[in-house]
Structure 1
Amino acid sequence: MPKLSYFDFPGSRGEECRLALHLAGVPFEDDRIQSADWPARQEQTPYGVLPTFEVEGRGVLAQSNAILVYIGREHGLHPRDNWIAARHEELMHAAEDLRAVVVPVLRIQDPAERVKAREELASGFLKRWGRAVERRLGELGPGPFISGETLHVADLKLYMVARWFSSGTVDHVPRDVFAEFSRLGGVERAVAQHPKIVAWYAR
């Protein structure tokens, strides 16, 4: 049984990999690491980050996009056409670009500086990112998923990013920050309503 290791919370890079395995119907060991245990585990990972995906006889794979693309290729959740696959991977990397900008803002401790930075994030970077992704999604078709009627691993990536903000968990960033981007919102809704995703969260 393969093992997916990530922190013990239902979000971000680890959760999108869990969802991919669940969609693929792959039984896996869901290794949820507690924060107190992370320092002792960190040096055991290839790059000092999570998630990691271990397959018996093959070794350990790191970096969420690599894990997602591997699962997608193995189980029909990534396009077979190389150009379309690359367009999906482009969107996955764009999601990581967003995380690289947002996470340092979330770590600001000074209350006044924190509010200012998050409001600027909402009105600036997130709007620019949303417009760019919306434009690229429009080039790939009408939806509901990135490439029509089929859910792929890249859809999970965009779903996780969009849900991060629409859930309202990021203070001083409006939960409707992406509301004007109908294709992005459509992907989020389509993934959330997929029967296997519903089943995962109903466990």
Structure 2
Amino acid sequence: MDNLKLTYFDFDGGRAEPARLALHIGGIPFEDNRFAPADFAEVRKATPLDQVPTLQVNDVVVTQGNAITRYAGKLAGLYPEDALQALFCDEVMSALEDVNVKIGATFGLKGDDLKKARDALASETLPRYLRWLQHQLESRGGAYLADNRLTIADLKALIVLRWLSSGKLDHIPADLIATVAPKLTGYMDRIANTPAIAQYYEKRAGA
């Protein structure tokens, strides 16, 4: 078996979290290399594109969060084998990454500039993505986003939806999801209560 080392910030969430979950669910051994945000300037010097996450597979270092998550999903049996279902999975993953990028673009803004940018996200952009995601969920049976089973699309959705509803993003209402796409709230809770996922976070809380 390949030796895997996943490098990302030392917090639960973000672009590496779906891969962490997938590897945990699949029982795939890996080194969970976490670092403090203050150490990022030094860590990034050793990364291919000055960013994380990275995944080292034996002696090869790979970048790009979605690619890493997809690889982890394949190892863990959480990525569809059917080409169309894989397309549905990738579509959701890419849309959710759009959300990450659009929110990320507001980091570094302050005061009125931050409020204006976040208000625009909360009133226009995020509702559009959230309603779309709710529609995808409903059109595929209401339980999962692809393949009628848990996939990495659900793992990424869980992480992004939790972030949006955390109350930690200034000027993004914590009840935004409940307001504009309420069915995603129950979906998020149900995915979080998947035994392997709940077990992972219980273990993390006790670490």
Per-residue Cα deviation, 1:37-81 (whole angstroms, up to 9, x for no partner): 322221321221111111225x22211111111111222101110
What corresponds to 1:169 in structure 2? 168
Of 32, 35, 40, the match for 2:34? 32
CA distance, structure 1, for counterparts of residue 187 and residue 5 of structure 2: 28
Trace 1:1-203 onto structure 2 (pairs within 5 A). 1-56=3-58, 59-109=60-110, 111-143=111-143, 145-147=144-146, 150-179=149-178, 180-203=180-203
8 Å CA contact 2:55, 2:61 repeated in 1: yes
Distance 2:33 2:120 in 1: 37
Structure 2, unmatched stretches of 5+, are none
Structure 1: give runs of 5+ residues left out of the alignment.
none
User: Which moves more between the two structures, 9-18 or 130-139?
Assistant: 130-139
SS at match of 1:136: helix
Structure 1, 38-47 or 161-170: larger mean CA deviation? 38-47
Q: Distance in 2 between matches of 1:91 and 1:100?
A: 14
The whole-number CA distance in structure 2 between the counterparts of 1:21 and 1:72 is 7
User: Is the Cα–Cα contact under 8 Å of residues 4 and 29 in structure 1 kept in the other structure?
Assistant: yes
RMSD: 1.7
CA shift at 1:105, angstroms?
1.8
How far residue 153 of structure 1 moved from its aligned partner, in angstroms, is 0.9
User: Is the alpha carbon distance of 1:148 and 1:184 closer, same or farther for their aligned partners in structure 2, counting shifts above 3 Å?
Assistant: farther
TM-score after normalising by structure 1: 0.90
Aligned residue identity for 1:177: L
**Identity rate of aligned residues, in percent?**
38
The 3-state SS of whatever aligns with 1:191 is: helix
Deviation at residue 196 of structure 1 after TM alignment: 1.1
Give the deviation of 1:184 after TM superposition: 2.8
Output the CA distance in 2 between the equivalents of 1:140 and 1:149. 7
- The whole-number CA distance in structure 1 between the counterparts of 2:105 and 2:75 is 34
Contact residue 13 and residue 64 of structure 1 kept, 8 A:
yes
**What's the TM-score once normalised by structure 2's chain length?**
0.89
Q: Which moved more, 1:22-31 or 1:146-155?
A: 146-155
Whether contact under 8 Å (2:140, 2:148) holds in the other structure is no
Q: Distance in 2 between matches of 1:99 and 1:185?
A: 19
User: For the residues of structure 2 that align with 1:75 and 1:16, how far apart are their CA atoms?
Assistant: 12
SS in 1 for 2:6: strand
The alignment covers a number of residue pairs equal to 200
Check the 8 A contact 2:89/2:153 in 1, yes or no: yes
